[in-house]
Structure 1
Amino acid sequence: MRPDDIEKLKELNIFRGVKKSTFDRAIAPSFLQSFPTGTKLLEENNSADFLYIVLDGLIEMSSSSNGDDTVIEVLAPVNLFILAAVLNDDVCLQSARTLTAARILMIPASLIRELLGDDQGFMKAVVFELASAYRRTVKELKNQKLRTGVERLANWLLKEERSQGGQRQVLIPYEKRVLAAYLGMTAENLSRGFAALSGEGVTMKGMRIDIADVPRLRDFAHPSPLVDDEEPSMRHE
């Protein structure tokens, strides 16, 4: 593992404030693997054998029922997934696959549960991470239930424009069908959404979106800190 990988891991909520021995015990038996685009990492309703940490790449978290599929979340580095299933020693409620080439650290689930009883700092960090995940879920539910599809798209564009450098331009980082599913829209409605936003200065050229007037788009989207703000990281003590 590269030195910068170690530093990335130490900035994760679940490793902030933990004993050095706890961190070392978690990392020593773990597997760091590289996966190509489109690799299925896990299937929902299967047991959680590992805690997954994304070091590079994008991961699609999805679910299906009666032939219908949806994208629940898209994870970027550095992030983790299926912590709750690991802690409960239960099945996964989501499937995961790589949207791009990715490097993933896999920590044995049984080790995570063991470390909880050995380090109070680790237990506190895990509780903080679970609380943050719960708040993100509530925000996403509010986004889905209180906004139209076009409003969700507009707010996604604003968030991506900031994260991609604030240059009034967004490059869609994955297939448009994935974006549509994540926003709770069909592919056709996503196209209509972009067409509707053309009146707010948004133009699409392939995978590139140009935003002529960010304040104008913001006035249309009405972003809210209770929906759109990122959750804070755990403070170092």
Structure 2
Amino acid sequence: MTDDPRRQIARNSMLMQSFSDAHTEALLQRSQWQSFRRGETLFLQGEDARAIHIVIGGWVKLYRITPSGGEAIVSVFSEGQSFGEAVALRGAPYPVSAEAVTECEVLRIPSAAVTDMLRQDPEIGINMLAATFAHLHSLVGQLEQLKAQTGAQRVAEFLLGLCNGAESPCEVTLPYDKTVIAGRLGIKPESLSRAFARLGTVGVKVNRNTATIEDIERLRDFSTSDPAGFWNKGG
């Protein structure tokens, strides 16, 4: 069914948006829709990569287990975002594990289906490169955040990303557990609590899984300001 909203989300993903209708339909015919409960594993670090995944609904985290046994969150993906392209096409082991952090649905595209299509039409490889570059760009952005912003500023940018063009005042729902938010932003859970408190001074109120933003522009100014001033003030 072409009017299936799940199929439309897949078609609009960065991975597929430049594919022809024929190529998209061919991939969808060979793919599987899978649902996961919160906390369920999609795949584990070290397993052979045999598929590319597109998130259709909900949120999925990619993480690594550190030498000390801790968990390091690499990224969190939401509706329309894909992951696993590079390793799936190489048939290499997954360098990360994937877990549903909310109830979610994903489209599992067998890597064999993509490689077969690449042999028929090498132009598809450009789309694959574009998706891989987008992931790399996202990781570079996260590294820049870690180096250039305070924890409170990272949280501010995270909240701004949830506003989706809304006007002030704005109320957003935190999409997943605060521990995952902290890991995604490279801060400790206790530091996240302090960051929320710090954001109270610029009009942000957090109550359980809801954040109310009094003035979006004020919060944006805070997120992009020189952090040196905040460090000097202990923020």
Partner of 1:61: 62
| Identity in percent | 26
CA drift at 1:164: 6.6
Q: 1:129 is matched by which residue type in structure 2?
A: A
1:112 is the counterpart of 2:114: yes
C-alpha distance 141-115 of structure 1, shift in aligned 2 (>3 A): same
Q: 1:10 is matched by which residue type in structure 2?
A: R
Partner of 1:187: 189
> Which deviates further from its counterpart, 172-181 or 19-28?
19-28
CA drift at 1:55: 1.0
Q: Displaced runs of 4+ in structure 1, greater than 6 A?
A: none
TM-score by length of 2: 0.87
| Equivalent residue in structure 2 for 1:206, among 187, 204, 208 | 208
Name stretches of at least 5 consecutive residues in structure 2 with no aligned partner.
Answer: 226-235
Contact 1:62 1:96 in 2 (8 A): yes
1:218 is the counterpart of 2:220: yes
CA drift at 1:158: 1.6
Deviations 1:56-104 (A, max 9, x none): 1111111111211122211111121111111221111111111122111
Partner of 2:101: 99
Name stretches of at least 5 consecutive residues in structure 1 with no aligned partner.
Answer: 224-237
Partner of 2:125: 123
C-alpha distance 214-221 of structure 1, shift in aligned 2 (>3 A): same
In 1: Cα distance, 2:161 partner to 2:25 partner: 35
In 2: Cα distance, 1:111 partner to 1:166 partner: 46
In 2: Cα distance, 1:156 partner to 1:9 partner: 24
In 1: Cα distance, 2:166 partner to 2:130 partner: 27
Q: 1:39 is matched by which residue type in structure 2?
A: E
Deviations 1:21-72 (A, max 9, x none): 4323322222112221211111112111111111111111111112111222
In 2: Cα distance, 1:72 partner to 1:49 partner: 20
CA drift at 1:141: 1.3
SS of alignment partner, residue 120 of structure 1: coil
Partner of 2:49: 48
Partner of 1:75: 77
C-alpha distance 38-155 of structure 1, shift in aligned 2 (>3 A): same
Contact 1:35 1:103 in 2 (8 A): yes
CA drift at 1:4: 2.3
C-alpha distance 100-215 of structure 1, shift in aligned 2 (>3 A): same
CA RMSD of the aligned region, Å? 2.1
Count of residues in Structure 1 that have an aligned counterpart in Structure 2: 224
SS of alignment partner, residue 194 of structure 2: helix
Contact 2:30 2:113 in 1 (8 A): no
Partner of 2:12: 11
CA drift at 1:19: 3.9
TM-score by length of 1: 0.86
Partner of 2:230: none
Q: 1:118 is matched by which residue type in structure 2?
A: Q
SS of alignment partner, residue 47 of structure 2: coil
Partner of 2:231: none
Contact 2:205 2:213 in 1 (8 A): yes
